[in-house]
């Protein structure tokens, strides 16, 4: 079984790292609050060491390690009859979306994605919405048009 051939943009790795950093900021604020509480209540100071270890581990995992693995595993391919997605860090999930099931295709961009000229492609079927994250903006627009055209052709053939 061959993998889908396309990867998401390398800038997607930067976006996921920024997201991990923002999440880690929240974790560090909670850890600081817990450290202050431990100090005020005069609880054992080794609890602070455990909290700092957990916060540093979270930072390493979600800013450096997970985005890299996620980027390496994310693949996609748009074919005439279907769209294939592959994702997952520890458990790989492969999804085939028949073109006849595609109802509409959207692109989405938040402020961080906009900074790196990236977009998310959202493919809607009757049951779910599938996403292809961190695609270069020009490629995302082109792919949105292509999927829309292929879905119309597939619908006319049915």
- The span from the first CA to the last CA of the chain, in angstroms, equals 28
pTM: 0.84
CA 91 to chain centre: 15
Alpha helices in 60-136 (DSSP H): 66-73, 111-115
Q: pLDDT tens per residue, the chain (158 residues)?
A: 688 999 999 999 999 999 999 999 999 999 999 999 999 999 998 999 999 999 999 999 999 999 999 999 999 999 999 999 999 999 999 999 999 999 999 999 999 999 999 999 999 998 899 999 999 999 999 999 999 999 888 777 76
Could you report the per-residue pLDDT of 10-45, keeping only the tens digit for each? 999 999 999 999 999 999 999 999 999 999 999 998
Task: With CA atoms as reference, report the closest residue to 16 among 57, 72, 56.
Answer: 72
């Amino acid at each position: 079984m061959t993998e889908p051939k396309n990867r998401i943009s390398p800038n997607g790795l930067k976006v996921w790292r920024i997201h991990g950093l923002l999440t880690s900021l929240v974790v560090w604020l909670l850890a600081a609050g817990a450290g202050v509480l431990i100090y005020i209540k005069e609880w054992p100071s080794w609890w602070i060491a455990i909290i700092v270890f957990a916060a540093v581990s979270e930072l390493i995992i979600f800013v450096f390690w997970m985005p890299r693995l996620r980027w390496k595993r994310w693949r996609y391919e748009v074919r005439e009859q279907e769209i294939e997605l592959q994702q997952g860090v520890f458990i790989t999930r492969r999804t085939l979306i028949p073109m006849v099931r595609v109802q509409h295709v959207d692109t989405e961009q938040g402020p961080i994605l906009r900074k790196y000229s990236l977009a998310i492609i959202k493919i809607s079927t009757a049951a779910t919405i599938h996403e292809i994250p961190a695609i270069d903006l020009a490629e995302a627009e082109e792919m949105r048009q292509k999927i829309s055209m292929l879905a119309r052709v597939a619908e006319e053939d049915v």
